[in-house]
Amino acid sequence: MRSSVMVEEPVLLLLPFSSDWPIRIDSSPCLSQWEVGSALLENMSPMKLCVPGDKLCSEEDCIPGTGVYLRHGYIYSALAGYVLKKNEGEKRPVISVVRETEAQLLPDVGAIVTCKVTSINPRFAKVQILYVGSTPLKDRFRGTIRKEDVRATEKDKVEIYKSFRPGDIVLAKVISLGDIQSNYLLTTAENELGVVVAHSEAGAQMIPISWCEMQCPCTQAKEFRKVARVQPEYLQA
Amino acid sequence: MAGLELLSDQGYRLDGRKAAELRKVQARMGVFAQADGSAYLEQGNTKALAVVYGPHEMRGSRSRALHDRAVINCQYSMATFSTAERKRRPHGDRKSTEMSLHLKQTFEAAVMTQLFPRSQIDIYVKILQSDGGNYSVCVNAATLAVINAGIPMRDYVCACTVGFVDETPLADLCYAEESGGVSSLALALLPRGGQIALLQMDARLHQDHLESLIEAAMTACKGVSKVLDEVVRQHLQEASVLTRE
């Protein structure tokens, strides 16, 4: 049984995105604006502009990153932006092309996404994906959290009504892109995944008191949810 | 019609250009803030506006989604005021559908769709003024719009319409030349690799002339790509000056 989170005052629940979370942004050819800005400032020399089709270097010099493609042993740019070379500790630097403005990001398998529950059903919960990692999506994608993917233990005894309610903000991980019939399949079967923000039936934002319960500060009523364990550094004591 | 020579003895065309000369290309990227990518391009008197949305979730029938790549959906339309006589039916007629299909095939060759499985990229092009070379201007405008949207592409896609008159290939035909009975060929090229994305012709041409016509088209496309390159680089410089503190 996990230790319960005891707080006296309402906790500022920031969405926790530390760098060791398994966020895969391989298919996204851009960094956040903050990272690009800092990279631009660090590089005192003006960064090289490139356009799609520009030959950047040969495969022996660098490893292809995002925004580039490999053809006949040479690395070419696939985007109009700046060339970024990073030394990741391997023999060759990783070369990628970044844009300053956000390009469209798609949730990838293994990515942590923030979503809002739109409807529930005894077998699954339907959600709308709002953020992938820390980047907001311009378009809303839909996902499904099946009953057996809510928890890691006692999967058959899960009740969706006691885990999620419509309007909850949930942190989940993408397990599948889905097939023709279904949307993205998500899971909350980890300690750090689950409901982060929920409102009680009275309308107030609830405080988590354990991994399966949240309490309303106004009416003191307890409601069942599958609560995400927020990283300790994001809690204000 | 007497007096209307497509190519004069001194080598000048109806609008005063030489045989291999292109029309003046002017373009702007990022004209609309609400679309993911947009561009406006003028080639002589032909003006086109291209808007790109995506990649986003499949709209409409989910069964058309491809499991390993993105679906590119193109729509070509002409404004009712774009031609000399008011156009009765801007969308849905056979020519528009055929153009939309050609645009789709062209961009499927250049855009790296395998990075976005089960999603859709929409490209809408509208001709505001039509003076020949509609397909080419659409392709050029759409290339800029796709680059503006940040969708990865292998290379630029540049297109040009060429025709054959008096043993000479004419590059970048205008409306008067196209309707004057010239055998016109439209070519879409990926300039750096020299790969042809689409080649379209529905006129009569002697097989001996085909080689030289395609050569002329490729040279013209490479000329267009230089101009588009300038536009993209300048837009990047401007955008970075604006966002940099």
With contacts defined as CB-CB under 8 Å, which chain B residues touch A29? 150, 152
Cα distances (angstroms) measured from residue A70 to each of A55, A65, A213: 10, 10, 51
- Most A CBs within 10 A among B68, B114, B153, hence the mutation to make, goes to B153
Q: Which amino acid is at B64?
A: R
Nearest by CB to B232, from A29, A51, A178: name it: A51
Same domain, A144 and A216: yes
pLDDT at A94 over 70: yes
Same domain, A169 and A208: yes
The pLDDT of residue B212 is 93
Q: What span, in angstroms and rounded, lies between the C-alpha atoms of A125 and A150?
A: 9
Same domain, A29 and A121: yes
Q: Which domains are delineated in chain B? A: 25-240 (3.30.230.70)
Residue B174, φ and ψ in degrees, nearest 5:
-100, 175
The pLDDT of residue A19 is 37
pLDDT at A17 over 80: no
Query: If you average pLDDT over residues B197-205, what whole number do you get?
Result: 91
Q: What span, in angstroms and rounded, lies between the C-alpha atoms of A124 and A149?
A: 9
> Does residue A16 lie within any of the structural domains?
no
> Does residue A208 lie within any of the structural domains?
yes
pLDDT at B35 over 80: yes
Q: What residues of A are in the B interface, CB distance below 8 Å?
A: 27, 29-30, 33, 37, 40, 49, 51-53, 55, 67, 69, 71, 76, 78-82, 99-104, 106, 138-139, 141-142, 177-181
Query: If you average pLDDT over residues A206-211, what whole number do you get?
Result: 90
> Does residue A15 lie within any of the structural domains?
no
Question: Which CATH number covers residue A89?
Answer: 2.40.50.100
Same domain, A121 and A178: yes
Question: Which CATH number covers residue A134?
Answer: 2.40.50.140
pTM tops 0.80 = no
ipTM summary value? 0.78
Helix (H, G, I), strand (E, B) or coil at A209: coil
> Does residue A17 lie within any of the structural domains?
no
With contacts defined as CB-CB under 8 Å, which chain B residues touch A35? none
Q: What residues of B are in the A interface, CB distance below 8 Å?
A: 36, 54-57, 62-63, 65, 67, 112, 115-119, 147-156, 190-193, 229, 232-233, 235-237, 239-240, 243-245
Query: If you average pLDDT over residues A88-115, what whole number do you get?
Result: 81
pLDDT at B1 over 80: no
CB contact under 8 A, B156 and A81: no
Which strand ranges, in their side-by-side order, compose the sheet holding B183-190? B168-171, B158-165, B183-190, B195-201
Same domain, A109 and A90: no
Same domain, A127 and A90: no
> Does residue A218 lie within any of the structural domains?
yes
> Whole domain around residue A91: which residue ranges?
52-102
Same domain, A88 and A109: no
* Crossing angle of helices B134-149 and B94-110, rounded to 10°: 50
Which parts of chain B fold into alpha helices (H)? 94-110, 134-149, 175-179, 207-243
Q: How many CB atoms lie within 10 A of CB B109?
A: 17
pLDDT at A29 over 70: no
Same domain, A108 and A88: no
Q: Which amino acid is at A34?
A: W
- Which pLDDT band, with edges at 50, 70 and 90, does B62 fall under? confident
Same domain, A117 and A207: yes
With contacts defined as CB-CB under 8 Å, which chain A residues touch B191? 53
Q: Which of A102, A124, A143 is the last residue of a domain?
A: A102
Same domain, A172 and A76: no
The pLDDT of residue A9 is 42
Same domain, A69 and A108: no
Helix (H, G, I), strand (E, B) or coil at A155: helix
With contacts defined as CB-CB under 8 Å, which chain A residues touch B116? 27, 106
Measure CA of the first residue to CA of the last residue in chain A; give whole Å: 23
> Does residue A176 lie within any of the structural domains?
yes
Q: What span, in angstroms and rounded, lies between the C-alpha atoms of B108 and A28?
A: 19
The pLDDT of residue B201 is 92
> Does residue A10 lie within any of the structural domains?
no
pLDDT tens profile A113-162 = 999 999 999 999 999 999 888 888 877 788 999 999 999 888 888 899 99
The pLDDT of residue A138 is 75
Count of the separate structural domains present in chain A: 2
- Which pLDDT band, with edges at 50, 70 and 90, does A6 fall under? very low
Which strand ranges, in their side-by-side order, compose the sheet holding A63-64? A49-50, A81-86, A94-98, A63-64
> Does residue A13 lie within any of the structural domains?
no
Same domain, A127 and A218: yes
pLDDT at B215 over 50: yes
